[in-house]
Every structure is written in structure tokens, then in C-alpha cells.
Amino acid sequence: MSNNITLTQNNPAPSTTNQRETSFAADLNGKQETPATPSTATGYVTATLNGNTLTLTGNFEGLISDATASHIHYGGVSYPGPAVFSITINEMAANSSSSSNETVGGPQQFSTNGTLSFTGTLTDSQIIQLTNGFFYVNVHSTQFPNGEIRGQLLPEGTPGISTSMATTQNSSATVTSNGTMGTSTGSTSTTTGSGGTTSGTGSSGGSY
């Protein structure tokens, strides 16, 4: 008996749009930044991947200084990487009347507490990077322009998201000037990717 399968209109090839929803979460704090910051601020985000659409919401509070931006970055635990997507900061300083979206050409100033939101389309390679734990979220501030708090996006329900991963992951990584990064965990497999700060696939490095 032949095991060949013919792809027809009633038997199409698999598609990312047919995949079930996958949930991710991250605890944000200063200890996970690279380098770590003395900030006692905290944050939490949840994200849902439905097909190739990622939707993220979250909040942060207690920053040492006003928030200036928030991003999804490409990078392994304890390693800085390029910004791939910009996250909208929804709450602003009470004395500000400008848009809540981060603008290109200069950061705006937000309050030390706020909420976060993002919806965007991921490429197939970015989906692989996300599901393998190579995306993280951080919040930048005036005192810490490279990031005051950070958290690794991991499958929701992962125990000790903000503590165990940094000490148990045995990996090495390098980030090159074009934003690509390779990692290894004792095997021969390598994960690579690139990122940019615009809305879709991302092609260049950004803030850490």
C-alpha cells in the first residue's frame, strides 16, 4: 500500500493559520536586564500566538524614572539582542497630552507605571524563535535608556519565569552587527534570526 498523500483542495498543506493558540508570559524586573539594574520595578506580560499573529498585553509599575519605550527583543536569557517590535505604552504621565505610541526620531516620556499592548504578524522564523524562548520584553526609561526591567517570553505556566531560567540555561550566544544570533546548548543545533524595530519581519538591530 502506498503511503503517498496527495494534496488537494480538501487535503491542503499544513498552514500556521490552522495551528492552535499558544500562550506565553514573562515577569519583568531589573535583575534580568543585561547588565542588571538596581531597579525594584516589576512588570508582567502575557502573549497569545494565534497562527502567525502575536497579541501581547501587560503592565509595569515602580520604575526609578519615567518610561521612554518598550520593545520585544530577540535574545537568549542573559544576552542582549536587537529590538524586533515596538510595544505601545498605554498610560502616560498625567501632564502629557501627546500620543501614547512611541515615535521614531525621539522617545516620548511616559510615567513610571503603565500598561503595554502589541499586536503584530510574525514570520515563520520568528515563530520558531519565540517558541524556543528567544524573545524577551523590556521597558526603557530615562535613567536606563538600554532598559530598566526585562523578562523572557516563555510558555505560560513555566515555573519561576523570572528566576530559574537565568541560572539553569547552559548556553552561549553571540550577537553580530547585523542582528543575528546563534545559540548552543551542548548539541549541534543552531537557532538564528534577525530583528528590526518596525512592524513586521524586522531586519536591523535596535536598542538593547
pTM of this structure: 0.65
Judge whether 103 lies within some domain.
Answer: yes
Judge whether 84 lies within some domain.
Answer: yes
How many helices (H) and strands (E) would you count in the chain? 2, 12
Residues of the chain with pLDDT > 90: what percent?
54
Q: Is the peptide bond before 82 cis (omega within 30 degrees of 0)?
A: no
Judge whether 204 lies within some domain.
Answer: no
Cell 531589573, residue?
A: 30
pLDDT band at 126 (very low <50, low <70, confident <90, very high): very high
Judge whether 197 lies within some domain.
Answer: no
For the chain, the average pLDDT equals 73
Judge whether 179 lies within some domain.
Answer: no
Q: Could you read off the pLDDT of 44-98 as tens digits, one per residue? A: 999 999 999 999 999 999 999 999 999 999 999 999 999 999 999 987 544 443 3
pLDDT band at 157 (very low <50, low <70, confident <90, very high): confident
pLDDT at position 159 is 75
Contact, 117 vs 10, CB < 8 A?
A: no
Number of domains in the chain: 1
pLDDT band at 6 (very low <50, low <70, confident <90, very high): very low
pLDDT at position 161 is 55
pLDDT at position 160 is 64
Q: What is the mean pLDDT of residues 120-133?
A: 97
Residues 101, 146, 131, 172, Cα dihedral to 10°: 170
CATH number, position 124: 2.60.40
Strands (DSSP E) contained in the chain are 22-29, 42-50, 53-61, 67-74, 83-86, 88-89, 114-121, 135-141, 149-152, 154-155, 172-175, 181-184
Nearest Cα residue to 50 out of 86, 92, 18, 82? 18
What would the grid cell of residue 201 be? 519581519
Range of the domain at 120: 17-157
pLDDT at position 23 is 97
Nearest Cα residue to 153 out of 123, 129, 184? 129
Could you tell me which residue, 6 or 87, shows the higher pLDDT?
A: 87
Q: What is the mean pLDDT of residues 109-129?
A: 94
